[in-house]
Chain A
């Protein structure tokens, strides 16, 4: 069919040409598809403030913008949990590379480290979450998948040993590689962190971690205001939003201030050794130089910064 310049048809068609009709149908379909695609936005908008939606990636925030974000988060905690908290943004120290070692001959499996982690890091009380999972292992076996985390009897049992597992702060972290939005990365003091406000909750990192070290916030964390640890940090123990990943950060809000991590302080036997790998006089260096340390799943090439050893 051909139309002349005045819009009159040669072939005796109606007042609306087929082309125009097709265009109208196309536009309608396109608009409908767009509306459908945008529909979740209308449901989702009320739970996320505009500021939060427009917030930049952690690494792109200027100090002033970071201050504004922190003030907003502190206000949100006050509004939602009724607690006055102070959220810091402690940066990595120069000349520090953190590492952890754990003496499996001394660990008795009391799980006090897991409990301390739960309290320190403002975990959801209902699910009793913790970054540490203590595995009861058969002596003579090193198969992590056969470890039992649910033991409930006096410890230590004679034929068992106990292996607490948490984030290994790998030098080659597979969880960082798989993140599609770069919401998780390795800091220069070797700690792998998550920007909870950048994470989209796809859980790829959870699947990629060979140590089951990452956790997902299925619900908004429930904590009574009395139990909230008010000393918080943006990249570590501030209360996480629903639908994002979280992980052990070696308590960076403590350790970057020179303090020991909460799990170490809770350990009654001294099985845990923490320190700066770059300091030749540190306890961690002494352990690495004098004990037969090993790492978990070495064959994967993740190069953990978390070492285990037996005394005897």
Chain B
């Protein structure tokens, strides 16, 4: 407020009373304004909340897709059908008529089929995991049949710590989103990386040998 704009002719008291009037007036105006603002915000409360809800729906979580084996495995017979396609049969095609050998622990002991199977998985026998009642399924430790697609449940019986870490996202490769409100995630299953008959992760040659920022000598000539 510019008091200096008052005329010099005005008495001090007049100036002061004017000043007080203006001050009171502006204080009143401020109070009314604030009150109106509060009323407006109260009145607009539910509406604005509704608007926010409409604009921003509660986050829906995307799914974590765990890859599954497509089906029970098929075995190539070596023959071809009339169209020239190789013929693959279910396990039960042969195993329905053979007697299960519950002591068998390696393909090397066999005289027909599966001899080449490299096996290195503890001291398990074939029928520890394969269901001798129906070879198109697997067998849990309690004897329950289990579809091949659910193989992770079978592995998890013995490999508890790994199964626990897997469930908590700390084991096994994945792609996609860390934030499941913004996109899905895709995860491998046990047998994507571990051969069930020889599960130790295989040795690999490392890729991408570092050059410490130096250019490739084969493409760059040093003076």
Contacts and interface: CB of A to CB of B under 8 A. Distances in A.
B120 interface: no
B208 A115 contact: yes
Given A109-B206, A126-B219, A128-B216, A258 B183 contact: yes
Contact of A118 (B169, B208, B215): B208
Nearest to A291: B170
A141 interface: no
B173 A287 contact: no
B91 to A, nearest CB: 29
Interface in B175-223: 175-179, 181-183, 185, 188, 193, 201, 203-216, 219-220
A283 B173 CA distance: 13
A259 B169 contact: no
Interface in A113-147: 114-115, 118, 126-130, 133-134
Contacts of A282: 178
A274 interface: yes
Nearest to A266: B173
Interface stretch (A6-14, A83-91, A152-160, A236-244): A152-160
A273 interface: yes
Given A126-B220, A127-B213, A130-B208, A154 B174 contact: no
Contacts of A28: none
Nearest to A268: B173
Given A111-B208, A128-B210, A215-B213, A258 B170 contact: no
Interface in A210-257: 215-216, 218-219, 255, 257
Contact of A255 (B165, B178, B208, B209): B178
Contacts of B68: none
B178 A110 contact: no
Interface residues on B, range: 35 or more
Contacts of A270: 166, 170-174, 188
Interface of B is mostly: loop
Interface of A is mostly: loop
B84 interface: no
Contacts of A268: 173, 193
Contacts of B203: 108, 154-156
Contact of B170 (A216, A260, A287): A287
B182 A258 contact: yes
Contacts of B206: 109-111, 134, 151-152, 155
A267 interface: yes
Interface string A97-112: 0000101001011111
A100 to B, nearest CB: 10
A76 interface: no
Interface of A: 101, 103, 106, 108-112, 114-115, 118, 126-130, 133-134, 149-156, 215-216, 218-219, 255, 257-260, 264-265, 267-270, 273-276, 282-283, 286-287, 290-291, 311
Given A273-B170, A276-B178, 4 more contacts: A112-B208, A127-B214, A129-B213, A260-B178
Interface of B: 161, 165-166, 168-179, 181-183, 185, 188, 193, 201, 203-216, 219-220
